[in-house]
Amino acid sequence: MYAIIRTGGKQYKVTEGETLDVSKLDNELKKEIIFNEVLFVSKNNEFKVGAPLVENAKVVAVVVEQGKEKKVVSFKYKPKTGFHKKIGHRQDKTTVKIIKIEC
């Protein structure tokens, strides 16, 4: 059984028991999150496709960790002028564990 959910402007394919890194969510550790934006559900070779969302479907997850991604480095350089600039960025993330998929 799997589902496709939408959170943070992105879509993720999830299965029960899977851990997933998503964009930062404002929830405390070990608290439940319910994802109501379910786009697709597959159960025993039966499919439910939403238009745009599947009715009465939800995915229940628990927050495992709040953290940051690996650093992404951007380096700008212009020849013969002595210009160089190094910029780093770390995106915030939330790690969630999928508990169950209901439809």
Two structure tokens written together for 8: 């943070």
Average of pLDDT values for 73-87? 96
Q: What is the pLDDT of residue 50?
A: 86
Question: Average pLDDT, whole number, for the chain?
Answer: 93
**pLDDT tens column, 16-65:** 999 999 999 999 999 999 999 999 999 888 888 988 899 999 999 999 99
On the 0-12 / 13-18 / 19+ scale of CB atoms within 10 A, 40 is middle
Share of the chain above pLDDT 70, in %: 100
pTM of the model: 0.80
Q: What is the pLDDT of residue 4?
A: 94
